[in-house]
Structures are given as C-alpha cells and as structure tokens.
Amino acid sequence: MPTIVFVSPKGGAGKTTSALVLAEQLSRSADVSVIDADPNRPIENWAKGGAKPERMTVIADADEENIIERIEEAAARTPFVIVDLEGTAAKIVVMAVSQADFVIVPTQGSQLDAEQAGRAFRVIQQQEKMVQRRVPSYRLPYSVLLTRTNSAIRTRTLSHIEKGLVAAGIPVFDVELNEREAFRAMFSFRQPLAGLNPAEVANVDKAVANAEQFAQEVIAALRKVQQQASEVSA
Amino acid sequence: MNERVNPFGDLGDFAPAPPKPKVEILDVVDQVAAQHGFPSRQPVKPPAPEASPAPTTPAAPEQSPAAHVPPKEQLPSRRRTTGRSEQVNIKTTFAAKKRLMEISVERDMPLGEILEQALAALEKSWESAT
C-alpha cells in the first residue's frame, strides 16, 4: 500500500540518501519500487553498480508528464513505492505528493534548510485540505527527518529548529540520519549499506543500525496510517 | 558482507495497492503548485518528427529542428595572403575612406598595396617637383 515520497525543495537535504537507505532496509523483507524522479538519476546510477538488492526495482524514466502513471503502476506491482524527487520547487513534486500515502521531508539542521522545508509542509497541508473538501476522510501524513546530524553532539541551531518544528505541530521522526561516511560511500562504491566493506569504510555497523532504526520508525508510522484508514472505512 | 538478522520481521501486512481514486487530482495539483510557487520545470521537447519541413523546398540542405533561424548572411571575404603583417589604424574623413575602399574594389587591390603605391606616387611627385 504505502507510497512514500521524499520531498524537500532544497537540494542537498539528504533526500536521495535517505530514500535509498529506506529502500534498502525495506527490500530485506518486501518488494520495493524506487522511482528516481531526479533528472540527475542518482539512484539509477547507483543501481548500475550491479549491487542492487534483488527485491528492489528502480524506475528511472519518470518525469512531470508520467509521474502519476509511474507511481500507480509501481503501487500495483509492489507493496512499497519510494519516490525520490529533485531538490527544487517544481510541479512534479506536487504531483508526486498527490499520490503519496506518506511524505518524508528530510531536513538538515540549518535555518536555510528549515525555511525551505516549511514550503514543503505548506504544500502538503494544502493538498490535504483541498482533497478533504471532496473526500473528508483523506489524510496525508508526513514527518520531518533530520539528516546529517552529529551522533555525538547536538548543535544549538539543530535544537532550536527541532523545537520550532515541534512547537508548530510538525511531526518529526525520533530517529535522525546521522552524518556517516558509510552513507556517502554507498554512492561512491555503488553498494547498499550491507555491501560496504568495514575495512574500507568507517563505522558501517553504526550506519546500518541507524538505517534500521529509521526504517523501523517509518514502518511503525505506516502501520498507524494503515490502521487509521481501515478504522475510517470500517 | 554484514547481513544480519532482519529486524523488520514480516511486512506482509503491506500489499500492492490499486490506483487511488482520482478526485480531479490534477486540478488540485495545478492549484497547489501555482499558489506555492512550484512551477513546471519540464524541459520543452522539440516538435515531433512528423512536423517535417514542407516538401516544397526539397533542395534545401538538411537542418536540425532547432536550426529555424537562417544563418546570418556572410559577405565574401576580402582577406588575402600578401605577406604584409603590420597593422596601421588611421583616423580619416568619410570621403577619404570611401575613396580608398572604392579604389580597392575597382582595382581589386588590397588596402596595403594601395597605401604602398600611394606613398610611392607621393614621393615620386615630390621628386619631380624638385
């Protein structure tokens, strides 16, 4: 059921990395389609390394004209669909959001990133409101994922931003994606996290643990959404 | 390889989904995109190949669809290989320049040659004057 769309109008927020990290973890237990709708096709390039997990399918021909069809086709084939978008405020982002069951907004702990993330929240909220006028039971849940955080130190800016988000009623994942060499090495070696050699890349185990926690929290959030949906329809 | 015990267990409760009911979704998308400054950034495709050039100009050289603009007309080159390599910029009147150009065209002479012959003629006239 779940189509998970990664949105951030700002580049470099960690969309592609967190999308791929989640896709890898989910593909350990389920079939996952990854729609790479970034014109730079970073996930397609990653998959060319030949180490893509068996249960992961990468779809890399999505653009503004066909994104809705691509998501529908993928959702009919596999239980999980993950959509990675380009880091700009483009119409394709709104189109993908219209097909989402859950939106993840990756954000770095900087004021600039937080401001751009705010644009994403407003789009999500308005989309929900407008569809609700026709379908009152419609919900578009979303959550912020703080990315590239330091696992040891919490900066004051990050604390400030997180406080601001919580005060504004924006849901934030408990798990953060830490700044880890392994998350970058996935792309330079074109490997999934599990395929990285701990002798070559520092702290792979910590990155894997981080990825698992993130995936577990996403799964819990999706189960909650699914439960709410079935309660409404019951 | 560091494959470990799968921490997610059974994800069988998530199943493929039929398409979502389209509640005029594109209409909503258009409105939300316009209000929040998320414009279309789809690159404009070149016209389809069916729109081929009209068959009335079969002799025209083949052009790519992007080359609609005819190339700017080129004047025939007046450059020649003469071995003269020094350059001189001269401020003169329009009439003198016009005459210089006219002589160049009429006699099919490069400007450098005209200058040399003009100097020679000038010196000759001075010699005959003395």
Tell me what the mean pLDDT of segment A219-223 comes to. 94
Residues 6 or more apart whose Cβ sits within 8 Å of residue A23 = A32, A34, A56, A80, A82
pLDDT tens digits along A79-89: 999 999 988 88
The answer to whether the CB atoms of B28 and A131 lie below 8 A apart is yes
What is the residue range of A143's domain? 3-233
Report the half-sphere exposure of B100 (CA within 13 A, side-chain side). Answer: 17
pLDDT of residue B53: 53
| pLDDT at residue number B65 | 54
Quickly state the pLDDT bin for A203 (edges 50, 70, 90): very high
Average pLDDT, chain A: 92
Mutating which of A5, A29, A228 best tests the B interface, going by the most B Cβ atoms within 10 A?
A29
Predicted confidence at residue A176, as pLDDT, reads 94
Q: What percent of chain B has pLDDT over 90?
A: 26
Instruction: Annotate A61-94 with b (16+ C-beta within 10 A) or e (fewer).
Output: ebebeebbebbbbbbeebbbbbbbbbbbbbbbbb
Q: How far is B27 from chain A (nearest CA, A)?
A: 10
Whether A91 and B40 lie within 8 Å, measured CB to CB: yes
Q: How confident is the model at residue B62 (pLDDT cuts 50, 70, 90)?
A: low
Q: What total number of domains does chain A contain?
A: 1
Whole-number pLDDT of residue A153: 87
B65-78 average pLDDT score: 66
- Contact between chains at B25 and A131 (C-beta distance less than 8 A): yes
Which pLDDT belongs to residue A231?
80
CA B100 to chain CA centroid, Å, is 34
Residue from B14, B23, B25 to probe the interface with A (highest A Cβ count within 10 Å): B14
pLDDT-derived band at B66 (thresholds 50, 70, 90) equals: low
No. of H helices and E strands in chain A?
A: 8, 7
Please report which confidence band the pLDDT of residue B37 belongs to, taking 50, 70 and 90 as the band edges: confident
B68 compared with A219, residue with greater pLDDT: A219
Domain CATH code at residue A143: 3.40.50.300
Residue A78 main-chain phi, psi, to 5 deg:
-125, 150
Residues of A in contact with B11 (CB under 8 A): 26, 29-30, 79-80, 219
Q: Which residues of A145-155 are buried (b: 16+ CB within 10 A; e: fewer)?
A: bbbbbeeeeee
> Which of A30-39, B38-47, B104-113 shows the highest mean pLDDT?
A30-39
B2 close to A197: Cβ distance less than 8 angstroms = no
| For chain B, domain boundaries | 94-129
Number of cross-chain residue pairs from A and B with Cβ atoms under 8 Å apart = 122
- Across A20-24, A37-41, A62-66, A117-121, the highest mean pLDDT is recorded for A20-24
Range with lowest mean pLDDT among A109-123, A157-171, B72-86:
B72-86
pLDDT band per the 50, 70, 90 thresholds, residue B4: low
Residue B31 and residue A114 in contact, taking contact as beta carbons nearer than 8 Å: no
Residue A57 clears pLDDT 90, i.e. is over it: yes
Whether A123 and B36 lie within 8 Å, measured CB to CB: yes
**Cβ pair A197, A58 in contact under 8 A:** no
The amino acid at B104: S
Q: Tell me how far CA of residue B59 lies from CA of A64, A153, B55, B62, B71, in angstroms.
A: 39, 73, 9, 9, 17
Instruction: Write down the ipTM of this complex.
Output: 0.81
Separation of alpha carbons A91 and A84, rounded Å: 14
Q: What is the pLDDT of residue B67?
A: 54
Which residue type sits at A50? G
Nearest to A189 by CA among A171, A175, A207, A164: A207
- CA angle in degrees (0–180, nearest 5) for A119-A123-A128: 150
Secondary structure class of A93 (helix, strand, coil): helix
User: What is the identity of the amino acid at A234?
Assistant: A
Residue A11: closest CA among A89, A70, A96: A89
The proportion of chain B whose per-residue pLDDT surpasses 70, expressed as a percent, equals 71
The whole-number pLDDT of residue A74 equals: 95
Contact between A187 and A196 (Cβ < 8 Å): no
